[in-house]
Chains A and B, each alone.
Chain A
Amino acid sequence: MPQAAPPDTGPDTGQPREVIARATGLVKSFKGAAAPALAGVSMTVEAGTITGLVGPDGAGKTTLIRLLAGLLRPDQGEVAILGQRPAMMLDQLGYMPQRFGLYEDLTVRENLDLYAELRALPREEHEETFARLLEFTDLARFQDRLAGNLSGGMKQKLGLACTLVRTPRLMLLDEPGVGVDPISRRELWAMVQHLTAQGIGILWSTAYLDEAEKCDRVYLLNEGSLLFEGPPGDLTGRAEERVIQVSGFEPRRRRFLTRTLDRPDIMDGTIQGRSVRLLLRDGCDVPTAESFAAGDGTQVAPGVPRFEDGFIEILGGGPRGTSALAENYRTIPRDERPAIEAKGLTRNFGAFTAARDMDFAIPQGQIYGLLGPNGAGKSTTFKMLCGLLTPSEGYGAVAGNDLRRSAAEARASLGYMAQKFSLYGELSVAQNLDFFAGAYNLGRADARRAKEAMIEIFDLGDKLDMNSGALPLGFKQRLALACAVMHQPPVLFLDEPTSGVDPVTRRMFWTHINGLVEKGVTVLVTTHFMDEAEYCDDVSLIYRGEQIATGTPDALKAQAGAITGAADPTMEDAFIALIEASDLDRETNGNLAA
């Protein structure tokens, strides 16, 4: 063994734990790819622990999990599950692929039945197990619903339930949180954590670093190699003493962040409420408040490092603050009218009301966030505003164009980025750019100029002839953004633009968005990343088709704090608290009515 066996890292006990899965020196290449997907990776998963697997897009996380599940053959190296080949240990293996293969035309119950039979769960245990799992996943009410009609979060929970019909020794979870709202994500985490008590070894791959932070042990993959392994605290420790919190500055938060990120001593920065969190480059001194030149009130305080800081640090830092895209963008002329307006927007599907009475007016040059659990009505609202759905009632306008009367003008003034990658996968990058330039009626010279600018800004030069469908996820999203902003629209609609994207690319996205907003662009965005909600000027929390809370992120946090009594809730805490409060409210009202 080239590597020393990792020390026994039972997080609290110090007792050696049983190794459930062990991979040694795994190498795996795919045909046609220049670099190997995995270049000599060794790892272990121990009983009763959650092992996190993190890394940027295309780092090789899915390949590693598939090798552990015995679905791929390693070119070199070995995989042992309880000392055996994976194929021999299928009974002991629970695997949840990124897109769990639920049979969408079977009901929840039928899916469970199938997997119970496949895993030879004794018949007499069916009822009890199903009852437990349905309770556990809170799906009991939906037993007879077709799996295809479940929301994203419920599908993930059902997928987990199907892998758990018979308790395995090893669970492999490949990004179970992608596209899932914070509540479902928390529930998933709680469910999985519950399993560790039964001595199951869990491998959890994730793009949410707050989840990774809670793991017992973390492996960080980058370009097929391990950059880090160990308890998450060790990675966090790399950022020790290098995180500061700056508050009390005068300029707008986003402008301040942009400027600060351009400083050579700053590696990374995020907005948090009224303050800005910064990560200093290694060996740099803590800057003085004056050095920010942001007014007398500026205060600098040390911050508590998080796993995310360590992650960004080890990957070489986030992007610079100035967005080349924004620099190239035209300045949107000021207009006092709201850029996006919704008045009583309602949409019914038969008897079901997907969105009721949506009311907001977004002033020009602001970011407005729509938050909410899966299936709450965010997408419906979103689609009504960009003209994909006709509202059943109410009024909507984009850049002053009434959606009902001048839909084409409204569409011409917006840029749109869909929830899942929806460019023409079989067209090359250049052809996609050409098409969108033409579709938005850019003249020949303008089109050429816009295309060249996009290639330059998004670093697409060497990928022009690639099929856009074959691009890595990060590049797909960049191209999608490029296509949406080519015609320099005054309004941008971004539907979960960063879903499944790694933290570094997400930062790059927000750098561009922040820059564009400074130029007067108005942005409507939906996201499941609550830290991203902090970038918004205003957010609206949508639940069960209604706006249950609207205001600045800080106002929402304060509102949640008043409910729970927590001193400094995060946006995610606020999200959960407000939704729970709404549930409680409805139940009481329901009870009163009954």
Chain B
Amino acid sequence: MQRLKASIVKEIWSMLRDPKARIVLVVPPLLQLFIFTFATTLDVKNVDVAVLDRSGGTHAAELVQRIAGSPNFRNIVYLRSSQDLRHAIDNQKVIAALVIEEGFDRALDKGRPGRVGLVLDGRRSNAAQIVAGYVSGITAQMDVEAIPQMEGGPQVTHWFNPSLDFIWFTLPALIVIIVAIAGLAITSQTVARERELGTFDQLLVSPLRVHEILIGKMVPPFLVGFGNGTLFLVVAQLVFGVPFTGSYLLFFISLATYLMALIGVGLFVSSLAMTQQQSFLGSFVATTPLMLLSGYASPIANMPEWLQTVTYINPARYFLIIVQGLFLKGMPAADVLQQLWPLMIIALVTLTAAAWLFRSRME
């Protein structure tokens, strides 16, 4: 026990006292908290749109007024010609241009449908589609007010996040990411650093057993990841008001399992690398697909079938579902378990592989 304790205490001090390790410890979580929380929204707000009004009547003016009044749009640029329009779109002055055709007012006055064109910048196709949605919402609203609509038709409800607040998505997902940074970036440095600085031999000559060394190396990233996860759990609820509807116990069990899986990957990379440089690049190469194939950057359902199969080995995939489920959906234990057991298998595999590699590269 003395040995294990010494090994753990040493690793914790190494992490806390090494200014380089502190960079990994402090800066990414803070940066992520701010930038990810505020910047990574797929919402579209404050966009500029252009209007080419060829009709010039009161109905046209009303339509433009309504668009200008929408909180989603910032500035309205008035255009004179189609050349203007092309210029405005090509140079990305605006994301969309509304073209109110010549006979618009006349048609409406006569009770016939008036035609409005909407040119969107397909270079930003995601935002463009959302803008198209906003504009069609506004025109539909004008229709409804003009003629009493029949009741019925599709009724849309959004479960779990009725107002589709993007932060309710970002903050739980951030736990998945931030924990991955701790698990991979910190763990991947540990063995490689000892190898590079020459302390590895000193460690191997001591009577410390391999499992004591490895457990020592696992503790700091585990604590950091656990701490970060808990911090974001609290911040998400208290600062950003994201509801947490599931079981805390299940959350922490899942977090621990996820961390173990990541630490296994990190130790594997670290045992493989001869220098800190290589381990940094290795963890970088591992982190990128881990993030992009987790369902965070874009839904897994949008990927090609074969790539969806690949995501089954990604621990982040399972933990993301658990976190979102526990935060917003009140996920019951049975459903959590369904995600948890693959995660446990992955953790077992990565840790075993890391221990095997560490042992076989001791010379």
Contacts and interface: CB of A to CB of B under 8 A. Distances in A.
A and B touch in the complex (CB under 8 A): yes
Interface of A: 383, 386-390, 408-409, 411-412, 414, 416, 418, 420-428, 431, 434-443, 447, 467, 493
Chain A to chain B: the 3 pairs with minimum beta-carbon distance, closest first: A438-B6, A412-B207, A422-B198
Contacts of A467: 17
A467 B21 CA distance: 15
A387 B206 CA distance: 10
B208 to A, nearest CB: 5
Contact of A443 (B2, B199, B204): B2
Contacts, number: 90
Contacts of B209: 408
A580 B2 CA distance: 51
Contact of A418 (B2, B198, B207, B208): B198
B17 A439 contact: no
A442 B5 CA distance: 11
A453 B7 CA distance: 22
B18 interface: yes
Interface string B1-34: 0110111011001100111010000000000000
B205 A441 contact: no
Interface in B214-235: none
B92 to A, nearest CB: 45
A408 B207 CA distance: 5
Contact of B9 (A387, A420, A438, A440): A438
23 contacts: A387-B204, A387-B205, A411-B206, A416-B202, A418-B198, A418-B201, A418-B202, A420-B198, A422-B197, A422-B202, A424-B13, A427-B13, A428-B17, A431-B17, A434-B10, A435-B6, A437-B6, A438-B6, A438-B10, A439-B6, A440-B3, A440-B206, A467-B17
Given A412-B207, A431-B13, A441-B2, 7 more contacts: A387-B205, A422-B199, A436-B6, A440-B206, A441-B207, A447-B2, A467-B17
Contacts of A427: 10, 13-14, 17
A442 B2 contact: yes
Nearest to A427: B13
Contacts of A411: 205-207
B363 interface: yes
A427 B18 CA distance: 8
A349 to B, nearest CB: 10
B13 to A, nearest CB: 5
B206 A436 contact: yes
A454 to B, nearest CB: 15
A169 to B, nearest CB: 38
Nearest to A421: B198
Contacts of A387: 204-205
Residue among B17, B21, B205, B363 with most chain A CB within 10 A: B205
A427 B201 CA distance: 17
A439 B11 CA distance: 12
Interface residue range, chain B? 20 to 34
B6 A434 contact: yes
Interface in B235-281: none
A422 B204 CA distance: 12
B17 A416 contact: no
Most chain A beta carbons < 10 A, residue from B5, B6, B9:
B6
Nearest to A420: B198
Given A418-B198, A420-B198, A422-B202, A439 B7 contact: yes
Interface string B173-204: 00000000000000000000000011101111
A421 B202 CA distance: 10
B193 to A, nearest CB: 9
Contact of A388 (B10, B197, B199, B363): B363
Contacts of B3: 438-441
B13 A438 contact: no
Given A390-B363, A411-B205, A431-B13, A424 B6 contact: no
A412 B204 CA distance: 11
Contacts of B21: 426
Chain B CB within 10 A, most for which of A408, A422, A423, A438: A438
A408 B210 CA distance: 10
A447 B197 CA distance: 26
Contacts of A420: 198
B2 A424 contact: no
Contacts of A428: 17
Nearest to A413: B207
Nearest to A437: B6
Contacts of B199: 422-424
B363 to A, nearest CB: 5
A388 B201 contact: yes
A434 B205 CA distance: 17
Nearest to A415: B205
Nearest to A389: B363
Contact of B10 (A390, A414, A422, A424): A424
Nearest to A409: B207
A152 to B, nearest CB: 15
Contacts of A412: 207
A386 B5 CA distance: 24
B216 to A, nearest CB: 10
Contact of A426 (B7, B18, B208, B363): B18
A418 B9 CA distance: 22
B189 to A, nearest CB: 12
A252 B204 CA distance: 35
Nearest to A425: B197
Contacts of B7: 435, 438-439
Contacts of B2: 438, 441-443, 447
Given A434-B9, A435-B9, A422 B207 contact: no
Contacts of A389: 363
Contacts of A409: 207
A120 B30 CA distance: 51
Contacts of B9: 434-435, 438
Given A427-B13, A438-B5, A386 B198 contact: no
A425 B121 CA distance: 56
A425 B198 CA distance: 10
Interface in B25-81: none
A389 B6 CA distance: 24
A414 B209 CA distance: 15
B17 to A, nearest CB: 5
A437 B201 CA distance: 17
B208 A439 contact: yes
Given A389-B363, A427-B10, A439 B207 contact: yes
Given A425-B197, A435-B10, A443-B2, A388 B204 contact: yes
Contacts of A408: 207, 209
Contacts of B14: 424, 426-427
Nearest to B202: A422
